[in-house]
Chains A and B, each alone.
Chain A
Amino acid sequence: MSEPQQDFILETRHLTKAFKGFTAVDDVNLQITRGHIHALIGPNGAGKTTVFNLLTKFLQPTSGSIVFNGRDITTETPAAIARLGVIRSFQISAVFPHLSVLENVRIALQRKEGNSFHFWRSDKVLNRLNDRAMELLASVGLADFAQSKTLDLPYGRKRALEIATTLALEPELMLLDEPTQGMGHEDVGMVTDLIKQVSKDRTILMVEHNLHVVSRLADRITVLQRGSILTEGDYATVSADPQVREAYMGTEADAVQEAS
């Protein structure tokens, strides 16, 4: 290391993932600055979700490395990097449908209690986590739903619950996979506000289709196309780039303009 550079919480070096005869992610060098909301955008099939799955270790890279807080995590397991403080969300809302809303959050809080293998103890010991769980639910506006079955929540609220569950782990880095996908207008607004709110004191990397959301949230944007980085920068820079406009042909190009 020569001079002290910017503080990167997560870096990928020459990250590559090839499936049979097809390179989904090609030599991607990402650098995520601590404290930023960093958005990963690109047309369908650009490799966003693959990058995402590589970062969270749900896929193994073909070559290249991933460094989190200066530590090489390329060979770690998904559960292990979660314990390091990298918590992901999923495209389809990741909740436990038949547990109550409160229990959903408690599952996340429970891990640090160290009693998760205790099969001989009553689950009443988990009640001491209820206060903290309620705080978290209140912070995403779900306090009134604590006892509901998660299955019965509307979609937007499931997403809010997912964020509360993720926050329970006090992640250093949150990875959000299309957090507003499939949502109506109101819900998009609610979740966007929520992300803004929880982004204080932590870093967020999000894959997002909705450019309006990206323009409101992202400090920095990386545009992927066909598995490699097309360009990077803040929203103004990226949306002015002719290559990006070309990549987002048609309606989506209009969306770029509209949002800016």
Chain B
Amino acid sequence: MNKKLLLILLPLALLAPLVLYPVFLAKVLCFALFACAFNLLLGFAGLLSFGHAAFLGTGGYVTGWLMINSGLTPELAIIAGTIAGGLLGAVYGALAVKREGIYFAMVTLALAQLTFFLYVQAPFTHGEDGMQGIPRGALFGLIDLSDNMVMYYFVLAIFCFGFWLINRTVHSPFGQVLKAIRENESRAISLGYDVNRYKWLAFVISAALASLAGATKSLVFELASLTDVHWHMSGEVILMTLVGGVGTLFGPLVGAGFVVTMQNYLSGGELGNYIHIIMGAVFVICVLSFRSGIVGQLAKFKRDNF
């Protein structure tokens, strides 16, 4: 079923910028990748991180700084940003996976706040002003990314890679062990698995992909700002994942699309001031009445009726 769905979605994604504004679409894809990375941890390893903004922001700042100061081509700067976020994830993950449940969430939140305040103080981020005027550069030194259409297709390629990697991770020998740990942790231990090492690897992969999303986003908007490291962002990605459907492959994609679209339309219109209230209401409704999210509900509808 997933393969068929991909065959429908890919042409849609390729044709979409003919109808919709490419920067908006690129933004959706960046957040979708971010949410997918987050979902790998929550949906497939059962770990609720409340600090994923740290990785999104780190990817953005590192890539942005390199684009401004080093003359690296964009793909290399993005790889560097991803690695930087992955390394940060390796450190934070090692500390966080020692705790479970709410304590895990709190440790990740604390570490993300630490990161936030470092970025507030560090001169290279330009604090509240943000890192502005990040050049998009030329891909491989050849293809100029300043055109929004070209940029969109580059982002789409990155998203597809990230999505593929997550899909593969979920359906890999490693993914099987993760599933087992999520289902019954003590049994997994008694079968000889050092569960913390598996959780840690899942954390690192998730952090690296979140950084990839942040790195890409900084090129799309030519901006890296504190918004991306703020704890609001960590909350927003939870919202996206839950609305779309936690533990489903397409859920975060749908959720990110939904949330970003809502925000875009609301912030432009008269309801701009009520945006947080509306998003909050959506969240409450979602958690109370359809906990498996949009994709989860659709899958259930399909199971029951076809």
A binding-site residues for B, Cβ under 8 Å: 56, 58, 77-80, 82-83, 87-90, 94-99, 103, 106-108, 110-111, 113, 115-123, 125-126, 165, 169
Interface check B70, CB cutoff 8 A:
no
Q: Is the interface of B mostly helix, strand, loop or mixed?
A: helix
- Cα distance A229–B176 when bound, in Å? 42
Interface check B180, CB cutoff 8 A:
yes
What A residues does B175 contact at CB under 8 A? 119, 123
A95 adjacent to B191 (CB under 8 Å):
no
B169 adjacent to A123 (CB under 8 Å):
no
A79 adjacent to B187 (CB under 8 Å):
no
A99, chain B: closest CB distance, angstroms: 6
Interface check B186, CB cutoff 8 A:
yes
What A residues does B195 contact at CB under 8 A? 79
Interface check B144, CB cutoff 8 A:
no
Determine which of A87, A99, A116, A117 lies in contact with B190 in the assembled complex, contact meaning CB atoms within 8 Å.
Answer: A87
B299, chain A: closest CB distance, angstroms: 15
- Cα distance A165–B188 when bound, in Å? 11
Q: How many residues of B contact A (CB 8 A)?
A: 28
Residue of A nearest to B177 (CB): A116
A94 adjacent to B173 (CB under 8 Å):
no
Please encode chain B, from 194 to 205, with 1 for each CB lying within 8 Å of some chain A CB and 0 for all others.
110110010001
Residue of B nearest to A107 (CB): B180
B290, chain A: closest CB distance, angstroms: 20
- Cα distance A111–B198 when bound, in Å? 12
Kindly name the residue among B186, B192, B198 whose own CB sees the greatest number of chain A CB atoms within 10 A.
B192
Determine which of A78, A89, A119 lies in contact with B172 in the assembled complex, contact meaning CB atoms within 8 Å.
Answer: A119
Residue of B nearest to A81 (CB): B192
- Cα distance A92–B206 when bound, in Å? 33
Within 158-200 of B, Cβ neighbours of A (below 8 Å) are at 165, 168-169, 171-177, 179-180, 183-184, 186-195, 197-198
